Amino acid sequence: MVAAFDGWNDACQSATNVIRHLVSKYRSLEVGHISRDGYYDYQTSRPMQCVIQGTRRILWPQTAFYDITVTDDLHLLTQLGPEPNYRWMDYVRETLHFAKQYDVSRIVMLGSMFAECPHTRDLPIEVSVDGVQSDPESEYNGPIGIPHIIDAMAIEEGFDTTSIWVSVPQYLGGNEPCPQATLELFQQLASVIGLKLNAQELEGKADQWRAHCDVMVRNNADLDGYVDQLEHDYDLKQHARTIASAGTPAVEQLVQEAEAYLRDLP
Residues 6+ apart with CB under 8 A from 121: 231, 234, 235
Whether 64 and 131 share a structural domain: yes
What's the rounded mean pLDDT across residues 193-197? 88
Whether 156 and 246 share a structural domain: no
- Among 197, 232, 251, which residue terminates a domain? 197
What's the rounded mean pLDDT across residues 166-179? 88
CATH number of the domain bearing residue 114: 3.40.50.10900
First to last CA, the chain: 50
Whether 224 and 172 share a structural domain: no
Residue 214 lies in a domain: no
- pLDDT-derived band of residue 246, with 50, 70 and 90 as boundaries? low
Whether 168 and 244 share a structural domain: no
Whether 226 and 102 share a structural domain: no
Range of the domain at 190: 2-197
Whether 175 and 232 share a structural domain: no
What's the rounded mean pLDDT across residues 195-211? 92
201 pLDDT more than 80: yes
Whether 190 and 236 share a structural domain: no
Whether 74 and 170 share a structural domain: yes
pLDDT tens-digit series, residues 26-60: 999 999 999 878 899 888 888 889 888 888 988 88
Residue 99 lies in a domain: yes
Residue 76 bridge partners (DSSP):
68
| Structural domain count of the chain | 2
Residue 202 lies in a domain: no
| Integer Cα distance of 43 and 52 in angstroms | 24
Predicted confidence at residue 57, as pLDDT, reads: 87
Whether 72 and 176 share a structural domain: yes
78 pLDDT more than 80: yes
- The mean of the pLDDT values for the chain is 89
